[in-house]
């Protein structure tokens, strides 16, 4: 049996007029990739995206997601924009509960008004609303926990921001499914936090590296653990591994004070990449592959995730927009194109010596292979690394992408004419006052 390469549709980031704007290109690729076939009119459609951490500036601009919401509506779907709560990997993370996340999303521009549809945190108030998904052939995982708000949707359009990631090496469509669609326990599961070999509650403990309440940050560390496994005493730290759920709340003392040993840390980091592929495969199977479509914006390609409270300089120039029905093919195409791009001077690409076209950008920047998760999904049959990159021409129908209130017959001048009719000319009586010629010769103003 001959298996044809999956089609990945692509348009670059160059702007030459309204139809070539990034939201307009994404709307065109939505149709070229057949993403409207993922759902029927009247279906509930989850538009899965990342709405950014507090103080992060690299996340996708709201208009880029709104463009997809509008396409879902155009095809008769009933959309909602969604994401899930986080594990407490960052001790001041602003998305650990649904209430916190909605406040952060609004600060970042994601509201019902800006999206034109509801914003739903898919795993509930504390991240406990989920559906168990079996992954019998998983390379590491045997199960996953899919956020119920996504699991119960009729279809899912996964809108991803392609960039680097400190743990996942890169972030794209697969990670947006594997981690972004997981409930809290789903995230802990994918991060192997209680794995019998590399789980965090099996790491070696070095309380001698903690000075206890002499440390000015002891109150912070005493409040990191939601399950009460960590307690700061007068002169050290106590840890009860029996209470540890591997929530990542202890990462601060792990990295800064070396209270936990890192003998198994490298295996943990490597195996996590496999677990993401397992989870993404299980979730897409559960949702039904024909009911899931993917749009990826390769813009502001920073070395770390949108879950960080800030964004570093991008490591390569913008690439553009990708769309596909195959998350494996899409991520592979984005990685290939990223590797062909030159690095940006002064970025981590220069620091890690992957500036030249052809260098594996994220492998070099993060220090682990960027192909593990893609290869895992491919082995499990979740998609194909073989792809055909299709670059359709940009539409020349400018009016198709204009502001919704406008039409070819009624541009902005139509509405402004009503104002002039009511209030008169915008010009002051007698007209504006000017010098006949500039008082200083133009050439004198051109010199440094």
Per domain, the residue ranges of the chain are 6-193+265-390, 206-257
Please give the residue that has the higher pLDDT: either 226 or 60: 60
- Give yes or no for a contact between 178 and 279, defined as CB atoms under 8 angstroms apart: yes
Which residues, at least 6 apart from 79, have a Cβ–Cβ distance to it below 8 Å? Answer: 45, 46, 47, 69, 72, 73, 117, 157
pLDDT at 432 over 80: yes
pLDDT at 128 over 70: yes
- Give yes or no for a contact between 227 and 184, defined as CB atoms under 8 angstroms apart: no
C-alpha dihedral (415, 417, 420, 421), degrees to nearest 10: -100
Q: Report pTM.
A: 0.95
Say how far apart CA 42 and CA 397 lie, in whole Å. 28
pLDDT at 101 over 60: yes
Averaged confidence pLDDT in the chain: 95
Q: What percent of the chain has pLDDT over 90?
A: 87
Q: Which fold has domain 6-193+265-390?
A: Rossmann fold (3.40.50)
pLDDT band (50, 70, 90) for residue 399: confident
Confidence at residue 3, expressed as pLDDT on a 0 to 100 scale: 65
Q: What percent of the chain has pLDDT over 70?
A: 99
pLDDT band (50, 70, 90) for residue 2: low
Confidence at residue 251, expressed as pLDDT on a 0 to 100 scale: 79
**Residue-wise burial string across 433-448, b where 16 or more C-beta atoms lie within 10 A, e elsewhere:** eeeeeeeeeeeeeeee
Q: What is the rounded average pLDDT of the residues 228-249?
A: 90
- Ranges of beta strands (E only) in 58-100 are 78-83
Confidence at residue 256, expressed as pLDDT on a 0 to 100 scale: 87
Confidence at residue 180, expressed as pLDDT on a 0 to 100 scale: 98
Confidence at residue 269, expressed as pLDDT on a 0 to 100 scale: 93
**DSSP-derived secondary structure letter, 343:** P
pLDDT at 336 over 80: yes
End-to-end CA distance of the chain: 68
**Residue-wise burial string across 171-204, b where 16 or more C-beta atoms lie within 10 A, e elsewhere:** bbbbbbbbbbbbbbbbbbbbbbbbbeebbbbbbe
Q: How many CB atoms lie within 10 A of CB 341?
A: 20
Confidence at residue 307, expressed as pLDDT on a 0 to 100 scale: 93
Least confident of 16-25, 35-44, 251-260, 266-275: 251-260
Which tokens go with 234? 């007068």
């Amino acid at each position: 049996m001959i298996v044809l390469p999956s089609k990945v549709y692509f348009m670059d980031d160059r702007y030459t007029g309204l139809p070539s704007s990034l939201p307009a290109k994404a709307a065109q690729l939505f149709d070229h990739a057949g993403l409207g076939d993922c759902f029927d009119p009247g279906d509930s459609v989850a538009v899965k995206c990342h709405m950014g951490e507090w103080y992060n500036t690299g996340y996708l601009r709201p208009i880029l997601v709104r463009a997809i919401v509008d396409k879902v509506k155009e095809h008769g779907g009933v959309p909602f924009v969604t994401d899930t709560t986080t594990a407490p990997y960052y001790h001041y993370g602003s998305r650990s509960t649904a209430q916190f996340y909605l406040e952060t999303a609004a600060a970042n521009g994601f509201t019902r008004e800006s999206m034109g549809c509801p914003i739903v945190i898919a795993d509930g108030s504390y991240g406990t609303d989920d559906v168990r998904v079996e992954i019998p052939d998983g390379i590491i995982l045997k199960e996953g926990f899919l956020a119920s708000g996504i699991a119960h949707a009729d279809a899912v359009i996964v809108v991803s921001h392609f960039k680097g990631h400190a743990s996942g090496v890169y972030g794209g469509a697969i990670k947006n499914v594997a981690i972004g669609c997981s409930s809290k326990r789903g995230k802990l599961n994918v991060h192997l936090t209680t794995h019998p070999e590399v789980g965090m509650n099996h790491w070696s403990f070095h309380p001698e590296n903690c000075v206890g309440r002499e440390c000015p940050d002891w109150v912070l560390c005493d409040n990191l653990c939601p399950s009460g496994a960590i307690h700061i005493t007068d002169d050290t730290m106590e840890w009860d591994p029996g209470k540890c759920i591997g929530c990542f709340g202890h990462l601060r003392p792990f990295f800064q004070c070396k209270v936990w040993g890192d003998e198994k840390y490298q295996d943990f980091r490597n195996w996590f990449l496999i677990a993401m592929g397992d989870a993404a495969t299980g979730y897409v199977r559960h949702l039904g592959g024909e009911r899931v479509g993917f749009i990826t914006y390769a813009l502001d390609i920073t070395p770390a995730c949108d879950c960080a409270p800030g964004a570093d300089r991008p490591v390569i120039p913008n690439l553009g927009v990708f769309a596909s029905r195959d998350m494996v093919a899409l991520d592979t195409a984005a990685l290939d194109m990223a590797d062909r791009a030159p690095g940006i001077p002064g970025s981590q690409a220069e620091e890690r010596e992957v500036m030249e076209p052809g260098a594996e950008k994220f492998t070099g920047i993060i220090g682990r292979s960027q192909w593990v998760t893609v290869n895992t999904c491919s082995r499990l049959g979740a998609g194909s690394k073989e792809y055909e990159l299709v670059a359709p021409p940009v539409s020349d129908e400018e009016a198709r992408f204009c502001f919704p209130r406008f039409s070819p017959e009624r541009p902005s001048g139509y509405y402004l004419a009503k104002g002039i009719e009511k209030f008169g000319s915008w010009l002051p009586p007698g007209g504006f006052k000017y010098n006949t010629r500039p008082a200083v010769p133009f050439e004198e103003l051109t010199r440094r």
